[in-house]
Amino acid sequence: MPLSTLDVDTIIDVLDLAHLYGLQAVESGIKKYLQQNLSVSNVCTILDVARRNNLNQRAEECLNFIDNNGSDIVKHDSFEKLSKESLEELLRRDSFGALEIDIFRAVCKWRDNHPSEDFKTVAALVRLPLLTVQQLVQEQQQEQQQQHLVPVSPEPVPETEPSSSSKDWNAVLCSTRFVCYLFCLGNRQLHPPPSTLPPIQ
């Protein structure tokens, strides 16, 4: 039966069996097929398999493909199924080509699909300083609307930052830092901000 007639999950199952029983010719053929047929829809699954079977060259090929197609991959459902180890490896890569706001959204969705995982080490790799205050507050407001919670602020967020002496803007920054903190911990409820948050500059 041609591999092209099988879905990627079935192909991965066959690859695992070939590896388990030492069927090197079958395993080699499947690896070559997967290398030639990487796509947005299957690369995350193949990356996890490559890492699980210590196929370092295949894993690097997958990572390079993701680097070059990051904006599409972070929006694909398969991204949410990545193993924690693969996700962390991706987030460490400076060459991962996707907008930081899209990475932020994808990581939040990943967390919702992996409630038993320790999320703190993943969240620490999201480059929050690259996101604007406007983006972060809007993300939190959308999250709250979906859960029928009270918005962070009923007022629109300013497009540009007022002077550093503005108490109102400092309050927005404080709220935004807390929003980041909540997302990083996977906690969508509002509580008094912890004293461990970094000071506002």
The band of 147, judged by pLDDT with boundaries at 50, 70 and 90, is low
pTM over 0.85: no
Q: What are 162-171's pLDDT values in tens digits? A: 444 444 444 4
Which amino acid is it at 175?
Answer: S
119 and 111 Cβ atoms separated by less than 8 Å:
yes
Cα–Cα dist 47/51, whole Å: 6
Look at residue 55 in the predicted model and tell me its pLDDT: 80
- Tens digit of each residue's pLDDT (9 = 90 or more) over 31-57: 888 888 899 999 999 999 889 878 888
Q: Does 22 score more than 70 pLDDT? A: yes
Pure H helices in 21-97: 24-36, 43-52, 56-68, 70-73, 84-92
pLDDT tens per residue, range 52-97: 878 888 899 999 999 999 999 999 999 999 999 999 999 999 999 8
Percent of the chain with pLDDT over 70: 71
